[in-house]
Each structure stands twice: as C-alpha cells, then as structure tokens.
C-alpha cells in the first residue's frame, strides 16, 4: 500500500462503530491500555462494557466538546485488508488476541469498520484535544445549548452511579483508580499552557507499518504549527522511537507504580515544538 491509498478526514458519529472496533482490536496493543483492560484477555464478552462506555465518550467528544477533534484514516475497496488470521505456525499471542477480538467485534458486537459515510474502511484514528485554546465549531457540533447541558448533567449523574454501584467487567478496577490519580498528578506538572494533546493514536493491526500512524500525527503537527503551539503526548517506551522519528523529544517521565506484580511502568512524556 502506498500513502496515496489512504486519506484522512475528521470523524462523525457514523464512524463510532469503526472507532470502537479499532479500539478493541488495535489500540489494545498499547501496553498501558492492555494492562488497564486486562480482563479482556480472560473473557471477550467483557468488551461489551468497553463498547458501552467508549460509545458515550466518543459521542460526547464528537458532538459536545469543541476542543476535541477525532481524525480518521480510511482506505477504499482497492486496498486488500486480510480477513483471516494468516496461516503460519509463528503467530504471536498479541496478534492472536487481536484476531480473536476482531471476530468477536464482527460477529457478536456487529461492529463494522466500513462506514456508512462513503463505504470506505476506517483503518486508523487519532484523538486530539486543544488544551488552553478554545476549540473550533465543527460540523454536527451541537454547541453549548440548554439541551446539551441537561444531557451532560444526566450523563454525569449516570456515570457517578456507575462508578459507585457498578463494577466494570472490562477494567482492572483498583489499577484504573490508581491510574486516574497518578494521571492527575502528571497533568499538574506537564499539562501547562496552551498545547495540542494527542490523547489516542491507533492504526488497524493489519495495516501497521504502512505510514498511517505517521500521517495521523502529521495532521496534528500541521494544526499545531498553524496555531503556534506545541504538541504533547504520553506514550510507552516501545513507541518512543516512533515519536522521535517525527521530531518529538522526551520532556519527562510518568512513573506508574506497581502496575503488575510490583513492577513499575515508565511512560515517556513526548513533546513536539
Ligand atoms: C504506534 C502506531 C500508531 C504506529 O502506527 P503505524 O501506522 O504502524 O506507523 P507508521 O507506519 O507510520 O510507522 C512509521 C515508522 O515508525 C516505525 N514504528 C511504528 N511503530 C513503532 C514502534 N512502536 N517503535 C518503533 N518504531 C515504530 C515504523 O516501522 C516506521 O518506520 P520506517 O519509517 O522506518 O518504515 C501503531 O503501531 C499502533 O496503533 N499501535 C498500537 C496502539 C498504540 O500503541 N498507540 C500509540 C499510543 S501513544
């Protein structure tokens, strides 16, 4: 596949099934997500909670939050995407997990990566957030109307009830709580001033290494340059080289203690200026 075979555009709510599918099959290969959502390894059906909560989160980003922009990469029919696990004796566990989840996502959850928008297949996404900058109105954005505020209040009440009375099946709940606390501390130190935050980045596991992730990050680089602000993101050590290739520098470390069997996890904090 050449870079000309895919294109980028801003996502709409029609892309939510594709985003959920990519999250479960491909973003789960991000080591931090993998640890926080560790119950997905033991029972694929736990992913119905991931779908439920992330659907809310994506919908809210797409419709109510002018500071969030989700960019998707898509390919047309001429690009062949494997539909089955390759026949090889040397399949890594990480690939096996992705293929198992892909089958579950299609058959049980009924999610398709082929969008209703134009019949193309979504093969990657980046979630960007303008921090300290007022975001721009987008197509479909519902503004700060009374209806939206009432809906947000109801959502907040519902999410409070869930937090207190429902144990999510898809998450390692104690670790997730620790993660949120530790993230707040890290943000106090590093999320200062105005910048573009890269919140999530993902390429379809069947299409990695073809330049899609690079193109998605370049979209952010162009947008941040136009506004004269830096980009920041937190990543894991295995991805540091990917960001360095794109001109990012490591500006700090976020240490999450005791993530598994007493072992700490070091998350490099990367900045592009
Ligand atoms: C990280 C990720 C988005 C990269 O996307 P991608 O489409 O495979 O990246 P590209 O094809 O644009 O890669 C560009 C270059 O970086 C390299 N690269 C990609 N991921 C890398 C990694 N984790 N470590 C080192 N190099 C990497 C590629 O080999 C390629 O090198 P080349 O230019 O010499 O050919 C993708 O691997 C992914 O979705 N991973 C799982 C989720 C995740 O970890 N997201 C990042 C959260 S911070």
Ligand 1, CB cutoff 6 Å, lining residues: 26-27, 29-30, 201-203, 208-214, 233, 235, 238-239, 241-242, 245
Q: Is the pLDDT of residue 25 over 60?
A: yes
* Distance between CA atoms of residues 42 and 270, nearest Å: 32
- Among 34, 75, 213, 271, the mutation site with the greatest number of ligand 1 atoms within 8 A of its Cβ is 213
| Answer CATH for 3-133+159-272 from 3.40.630.30, 3.40.50.720, 3.10.20.30, 3.90.1150.140 | 3.40.630.30
Nearest to 207 by CA among 100, 113, 80: 80
Give tens-digit pLDDT for 62-81. Answer: 888 889 999 999 999 888 89
Question: Is residue 142 classed as helix, strand or coil in its secondary structure?
Answer: coil
Residue ranges per structural domain of the chain: 3-133+159-272
Q: Please give the share of the chain, as a percent, with pLDDT higher than 90.
A: 69
DSSP code at position 39:
G
Q: What is the mean pLDDT of the chain?
A: 91
Q: Is the pLDDT of residue 196 over 80?
A: yes
Residue 2's pLDDT band (boundaries 50, 70, 90)?
A: low
Per DSSP, the residues of 183-220 read: HHHHHHHH--SSEEEEEEEEE-GGGTTSSHHHHHHHHH
Looking at 3-7, 83-87, 101-105, 193-197, which range is the least confident one?
3-7
Say whether pLDDT at 140 is over 70.
no
Token pair 């500071």 is found at 67
pLDDT of 204: 97
């Amino acid at each position: 596949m050449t870079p000309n075979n895919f294109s980028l555009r801003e996502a709409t709510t029609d892309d939510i099934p594709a985003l959920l599918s990519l999250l479960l099959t491909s973003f789960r290969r991000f080591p931090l997500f993998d640890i926080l959502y560790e119950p997905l390894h033991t029972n694929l059906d736990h992913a119905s909670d991931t779908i439920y909560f992330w659907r809310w989160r994506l919908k809210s980003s797409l419709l109510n939050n002018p500071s969030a922009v989700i960019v998707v990469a898509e390919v047309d029919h001429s690009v062949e995407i494997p539909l089955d696990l390759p026949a090889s004796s040397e399949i890594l566990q990480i690939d096996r997990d992705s293929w198992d989840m892909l089958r579950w996502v299609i058959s049980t959850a009924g999610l398709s990566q082929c969008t209703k928008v134009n019949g193309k297949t979504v093969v990657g996404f980046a979630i960007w957030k303008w921090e300290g900058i007022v975001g721009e109105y987008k197509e479909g954005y519902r503004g700060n109307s009374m209806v939206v505020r009432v809906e947000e209040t109801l959502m907040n009440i519902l999410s409070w009830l869930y937090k207190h009375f429902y144990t999510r099946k898809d998450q390692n709940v104690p670790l997730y709580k620790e993660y949120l606390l530790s993230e707040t501390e890290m943000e106090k130190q590093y999320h200062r001033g105005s910048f573009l935050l890269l919140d999530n980045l993902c390429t379809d596991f069947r299409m990695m290494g073809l330049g899609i992730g690079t193109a998605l990050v370049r979209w952010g680089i162009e947008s941040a340059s136009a506004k004269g602000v830096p980009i920041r993101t937190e990543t894991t050590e295995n991805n540091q080289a990917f960001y360095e290739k794109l001109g990012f520098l490591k500006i700090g470390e976020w240490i999450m203690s005791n993530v598994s069997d007493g072992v700490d996890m070091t998350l490099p904090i990367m900045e592009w200026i």
